[in-house]
Structure 1
């Protein structure tokens, strides 16, 4: 970028002439440049300072001390950061016959077998569920019931949402994992007569 040039003042011109007369040219054979000191780079202009009274005042935050509760806004308290497990299960693609699926959701199908994981730890429940599904799939059963319980609601002042019912959230994930994922055709929340939100219908594929 080329800077704009300005003309020398009288004092600058006189000073330049004195310097030029005392200096020895490096290449005397060259012709002197006419008016070589007529133009000099124009000094860079500084951005004018804004008066303090013109500087906008930042917004003031409300006073807050540890222990104070946040004001209630439009958001729902206790809302999960991700969709509820009921919505995830209900929103899964339909893989089974629609008529059979409707009957199953209405609780009109009787499960061939059931397992109650309620009260177990995650370390105990996972292998028990895997063995249960493999055993019933080998036996040719189609509909089985997995009882997880709804989980206890914990009283907490934590601002971070916490899910209740570890088993209720883990079981649908386990059913999509090896070594039983290929045996499971559909997972849906059970009808109220079979446990409602605390149990799952697991519809198995036909054994080959």
Structure 2
């Protein structure tokens, strides 16, 4: 493009040879105020190399994989002991008519520790012998009167024996219990139904 000069009247005229030479010299000496940005990928911020080969893309840092947490299995819940069952109606009727129990134990005069141990051994042996109903004599006692060994109140065994028979670890031997009839001591004794070995856990 040939540069042109403008006159006072607004008309354009062609530059003379001397003016064109001076204009070319000025253009060569002028430097741009801001350098031209490299013709690379602005999104990557990397200019292509001079030889024309594509510039390598920056690699992303390696991702750290967290260790997988395996859920621990819930602890096995032990089965609950079978509930206590009352004496069978037929067995209760036979006992009320005078039928004898398979075995009996008298805990009179024993401390709680000795009575508890004797009772457990008696019931385990009764189960081994195949007994169905046994009699446990505790005595009626008198809660308001002190006596017995080590200052234990009378009637302690009457209150403690039902608690021992209802213990979960005794359910493998004891099916149930209830107060005895008058012929066998009434409130001072208990009928205890023994669990048979072959149907343990089914009653």
TM-score under structure 2 length normalisation? 0.48
TM-score under structure 1 length normalisation? 0.47
Larger radius of gyration: 2
